Amino acid sequence: MSNAHFSYVLRLGDNALIIGQRLSEWCGHSPFLEEDIAMANTALDHVGRARMLLTHAGDLEGAGRDEDQLAYLRDEREFCNVLLCELPIGDFAFTLMRQYLLDVYHLHLFEALCRSQDEVLAGIAAKAVKESSYHCRRSAEWVCRLGDGTDESHRRMQSALDELWGYTDEIFAADAVDEAMRAQGIAPPLAELERLWRADVEALLARATLSVPDDNWRASGGREGIHTEHMGVLLAEMQVLQRSHPGLAW
């Protein structure tokens, strides 16, 4: 099995794992009870995907690593999630804006992956696309509600969007792995996903009375294992149990 195939599935798994970990930080801290449960539900959807994707990646790699070894026993440089997923949760506006930007991407990605030549990946996508469809509805609703809300909520949403915008470029920057997967019919062309993403995002931001930021800066590196200073702290918390008690199981 090709190395590119493993890398591609591993990236998807890492994105799911890291955003799931970030969302779970809200558990017990959301602004009100209903939202707390909703946020934890979403976190668990992502962790569930991470389990399936990392298991599949481990099978493709063929080195005997399972989901737990990939999640808990790799170091920072070996993680290949996009930087957008690992940024700290910030305030509620920041969390929901990031979620919306990711949810729209995931919705189009998994819709396309339902037709993947990789049957396992297509199966995972068929499950994930239903989740993403709901995630998108929820986060879009919040972006509108807070963007077109009070002066304070509008200011916070615009500031979150400005802070996040430069990180979205990395999602759609196709490299050799993406090209190889597209050529084999395993993954959709990223340029097409970006076109769909951009159309949805711009339409919603207009409804939310938010302005699309200028494309005058961009940050990337996560997929090559070059992470922000926040990643080490996240991994330390996520991995501490397995590192302290190797082989520990529930």
Partner 1 sequence: MSARRLPLWEVFIRSRRGLDHKHVGSLHAADPEQAMQAARDTYTRRQEGVSIWIVRAEDIHASQSDDAQAFFDPAEDKVYRHPTFYDVPEDLKL
* Residues found near partner 1 in the complex (CB under 8 A): 31-35, 37-38, 41, 134, 137-138, 141, 145
Distance, in Å, from the CA atom of 164 to the CA atom of 147, rounded to the nearest integer, reads 15
- Give the residue with the Cβ less far from partner 1, 54 or 93: 93
Contact 167, 82 (CB under 8 A): yes
Closer of 70 and 128 to partner 1 (Cβ)? 128
How much helix, strand and coil, in percent to the nearest 5, is found in the chain?
70, 0, 30
Nearer to partner 1, 89 or 120 (CB): 89
CA pair distance 198, 175, nearest whole angstrom = 20
Min dist. Cβ of residue 71 to partner 1 (A):
23
Nearer to partner 1 by C-beta: 41 or 242? 41
Give the nearest distance from C-beta 23 to partner 1 in angstroms: 13
Tell me phi and psi for residue 87, to 5 degrees. Answer: -60, 145
CB 187 within 8 A of CB 174: no
Least separation in angstroms between residue 26's CB and partner 1 is 13
Shorter beta-carbon distance to partner 1: residue 149 or 213: 149
CA atoms within 13 A on the CB side of 13: 27
- Minimum CB separation of residue 129 from partner 1 in Å reads 17
The per-residue b/e assignment along 68-77, b for 16 or more CB within 10 angstroms, e otherwise, is bebbbebeee
CB of 41 to partner 1, least distance (A): 5
